[in-house]
Amino acid sequence: MNKEILLVIETVSNEKNISKEVIIDAIEAALASAVVKKYRLDKKCLNDIKARVSINRETGEYTTFRKWEVVEEIIEDLEDQQILLEEAIKKNDELTIGDFYEEEVDSIEFGRIVAQTAKNVIVQKVREAERSRIVDLYLPKIGQLIFGIVKRVEKGNVFIDLGIPDKENSVEEAMIMKDALIPREAIRPGDRIRGYLRDVQSELRGPQLYITRKVPEFLIELFKLEVPEVGQGLIEILGAARDPGLRAKISVKSNDPKLDAIGACVGMRGSRVQSVSNELGGERIDIIMWDEDPAKFVINAMSPAEVVSIIVDEEKKSMDIAVSEEQLSQAIGRGGQNVRLASELTGWDLNVMSKDDADNKTMEENQTLSALFMKELNVDQDVADVLAKEGFSSIDEIAFCSMEEFNSIEDFDINLINELRKRALEIVETKKTKIEEENSLSNISGLNDEKIEILKNNEISDREGLADLSVDELLEMVELSEEEAGKMIMEAREPWFNQE
């Protein structure tokens, strides 16, 4: 019988291509299950017991143990599986709560019923091992291209044969969901197809490999395949944006000053970019030169439209782009496609307009700024117009502008510059003082100097800090009633609601 167990382990391990340890674990579990069942049938215990079987890897002999969990208090209906700590210590003084106390009991024969149970467990273990094998094989490949042949198409979903047979001569399979396909592409069984491995999941129905053909990363990986210079690190692809099946933009950078990044990606007579385009159902691809200057990068990304002027708002991360009237429709693109892809590629919010509209917008903004400067700085319109024209958009910018930049303004002499900076700084300081006064804890009803000092010792120095506290946190610092604490916090939060 011991030899039979070793033979079963050896045979199943070779046939199913899984480790002997998995088979041994399955047989041990089946034997343990049979022991529990025998105790139940013999009615030796009120409830099911816990059992463990250990098989000798060399001889095939096995030993059976009955197990009890060491607990402080035995739970009803589990008295045949648990033992009190004080009793367990009498048997083994090293045992603690959560350990298991074991006693050797008679083993059960490895008969037909046990073999069938072991078979069921082994089948389950084989499935789990196969699942784990495929998951482990493909997890490192997430983000890579996957090649295969279309096996079938069901309800718009495409199933791909990866052509890797296992021991049972089946093949591994991947799936492209309907919404991960390029719109309107015709795919039939037998077609060779590529995709971008997006995810690998272990599910009850088996391991699932999810592939997509719509994401920008798929486009980047195709270029890596077609352009050897990318794989060699001579050219970097820094980003991509797609309208799948219609149009795309990629940004490239050359790490070799002698190498033309765009030319290398286009290839001889457009062979490389055409090859990628054919894979994507004729998707038109614009190859854009990356630039560390955001404005220059955006100008490149707006290709093929030519940008006349550009205004950058770094705070809002947006740009106003002016083009000639004749190129306005081209710059925007059908359905806003060109400007949308340029925006996705660069990460900037782009607002495209004609040169006339841009001039009118700039004029209106300058008039508004000029009026602001006249009022705040008490200067005449000529000075205010120059400040607006030079790109100043706030009093703060005037206050903290460097002397070098100010000196570059031909219309201003040194005395005027110093006076403008002085007035701007005074306005900034006045506003800062006003904000600090409004944000002072002394403005909160019910807070006296003693309580304010306690809050400051707890690093709550203004009403904004107080507004961030919960009632419980405030009560831990200051002696108040819950009602008083709630009112103080709500009063501190008033500016939040006013802003909304």
Q: Return d(Cα 500, Cα 487) in angstroms, integer.
A: 20
> Are residues 127 and 167 part of one domain?
no
> Are residues 147 and 110 part of one domain?
no
Does any domain span residue 137?
Answer: no
Residue 120 pLDDT exceeds 80: no
Which residue bears the tokens 């200057």? 293
pLDDT of residue 164: 55
> Are residues 116 and 50 part of one domain?
yes
Does any domain span residue 106?
Answer: yes
Q: Return d(Cα 38, Cα 143) in angstroms, integer.
A: 52
Q: How many CA atoms lie within 13 A of 37 on its CB side?
A: 10
| Higher-confidence position of 240 and 355 | 240
- Residue-wise pLDDT tens digits, 5-17: 788 778 877 876 7
pLDDT of residue 34: 84
Choose the final residue of a domain: 193, 212, 231: 212
Does any domain span residue 69?
Answer: yes
CATH no. for residue 148?
A: 2.40.50.140
Does any domain span residue 388?
Answer: no
> Are residues 173 and 118 part of one domain?
no
Which residue bears the tokens 């806003």? 336
Cis peptide bond N-terminal to 304, omega within 30 = yes
- Residue-wise pLDDT tens digits, 29-43: 888 888 888 888 877
Which one, of 60, 61, 50, 51, lies nearest residue 20 by Cα? 60
**Where residue 494 falls among pLDDT bands split at 50, 70, 90?**
confident
pLDDT of residue 170: 44
CATH no. for residue 367?
A: 3.30.300.20
- Residue-wise pLDDT tens digits, 157-210: 999 988 754 444 344 788 899 999 999 888 899 999 999 999 888 776 667 889
- Ramachandran assignment for 267, one of left (phi > 0), alpha (psi -120 to 50 degrees), beta (any other): left
Which one, of 209, 128, 115, 203, lies nearest residue 171 by Cα? 209
> What percent of the chain has pLDDT above 70?
94
- Residue-wise pLDDT tens digits, 95-119: 899 999 999 988 887 777 666 766 7
> Are residues 121 and 38 part of one domain?
yes
Choose the final residue of a domain: 131, 155, 176: 131
pLDDT of residue 166: 46
Q: Return d(Cα 306, Cα 309) in angstroms, integer.
A: 9
Choose the final residue of a domain: 185, 212, 239: 212
CATH no. for residue 457?
A: 1.10.150.20
Structural domains counted in the chain = 4
pLDDT of residue 171: 46
- Residue-wise pLDDT tens digits, 312-330: 888 889 999 999 888 899 9
Q: Return d(Cα 64, Cα 51) in angstroms, integer.
A: 7
Which residue bears the tokens 């940008």? 307
pLDDT of residue 268: 92
> Are residues 326 and 300 part of one domain?
yes
**Structure-token pair, residue 118:** 């072991």
- Exposure of 156 by Cβ count < 10 A (0-12 exposed, 13-18 middle, 19+ buried)? exposed
Does any domain span residue 444?
Answer: yes
Does any domain span residue 338?
Answer: yes
User: Containing domain of residue 474, as a range?
Assistant: 439-499
Which one, of 270, 239, 469, lies nearest residue 346 by Cα? 239
Does any domain span residue 99?
Answer: yes
Does any domain span residue 392?
Answer: no
Amino acid at 344: E
pLDDT of residue 114: 66
> Are residues 147 and 125 part of one domain?
no
> Are residues 158 and 87 part of one domain?
no
End-to-end CA distance of the chain: 80
> Are residues 178 and 58 part of one domain?
no
Q: How many degrees, rounded to 5, is the angle at CA 337 between CA 351 and CA 254?
A: 85
pLDDT of residue 255: 92
> Are residues 110 and 163 part of one domain?
no
* Residues 453-474 as b or e (16 or more Cβ within 10 Å = b): eebeeeebebbebbbebebeeb
Amino acid at 159: F
> Are residues 179 and 86 part of one domain?
no
Q: H/E element holding 353?
A: strand 349-354
CATH no. for residue 90?
A: 3.30.1480.10
**Structure-token pair, residue 113:** 């019923």
Cβ-contact 69, 82 below 8 angstroms: yes
Eight-state DSSP code of residue 119: H
Q: Return d(Cα 276, Cα 267) in angstroms, integer.
A: 11
> Are residues 122 and 12 part of one domain?
yes
Most confident of 52-56, 234-238, 380-384: 234-238
Cβ-contact 287, 230 below 8 angstroms: no
**Structure-token pair, residue 151:** 């096996």
Residue 254 pLDDT exceeds 90: yes
Q: Return d(Cα 329, Cα 323) in angstroms, integer.
A: 10
Radius of gyration of the chain from its Cα atoms, rounded to whole angstroms:
37
Average pLDDT, the chain: 86
- Residue-wise pLDDT tens digits, 404-462: 888 888 888 888 888 898 999 999 998 888 888 888 888 888 888 888 888 889 888 88
